[in-house]
Homo-oligomer: A and B are copies of this chain.
Amino acid sequence: MRKRIALDMDEVIADIEPKFLDLYEREVGKRLTKADLYGKKVYHFEGAKHVRRFLFDKGFFRDLGVMPDSQEVVAELMEHYDVFITTAAMEFRNCLEDKYDWLQEHFPKIHWKNFVFCGDKSILRADYMIDDHVQNLRSFTGKGLLFSASHNMNSKEFTRVNNWLEVRDFFRAERAKE
C-alpha cells in the first residue's frame, strides 16, 4: 500500500505571509521585514491584533500565491505517495469555498477525495505530515516535518524543511532507504 502524506496549505503550499505584510503596512503604516517576523506572526505585533480578523473575510484565501517549487514537488510526490491536503479551515466559515477553488486552480491533479478541511488535526491518520505548526505535528502519529515559516523559526522539535526542494530531497532519501 502506498504511504500517505498529509499536507498543510497555509504557509506550506499557499503563501499567506506577503498578504499579511501588506495588510500590516496598510493598517499600521509600517513595513515589517523578515527579521522583524522571526518567531512571530504579524498579528502578534502591537497595534496589529485586529489584522487577524481579515482571515474571516470572503476572498481572503482565494488569491494567495503558490509557494515556490511546491507544484513541481507535489507532482513528484504524487508518483510515489497518496497526497492528502489537510488544512485547518473550520475556524473560518468563509474560507471553505475559497480554499476549494484555490486547490482546484493550483493543484488540479489532487483529487477532491484527498481534500480534508478540518479543525483539530489529531483526527488525521497518515504516514507523514508536512505542516508549519508544531502543535499539529505533536498530535500526529506518523513522521512530522516542520515546514519553515517565520513564526516557527525557534522550534527544534521536528525535522525541519526550509523549502520545497528540501521536501523533495527528504522524500527522495526516504525512498532510497526502502
Contact = CB atoms under 8 A, between A and B. Distances in A.
Interface stretch (A36-44, A119-127, A153-161): A119-127
A115 B115 contact: no
Complex copy number for this chain? 2
A113 interface: yes
Interface stretch (A17-25, A46-54, A93-101, A165-173): A93-101
Interface residues of A, number: 29
Given A96-B97, A112-B91, A123 B126 contact: yes
A93 B84 contact: no
Interface of A: 4, 6, 84, 86, 89-91, 93-94, 96-97, 100-101, 111-120, 122-126, 141
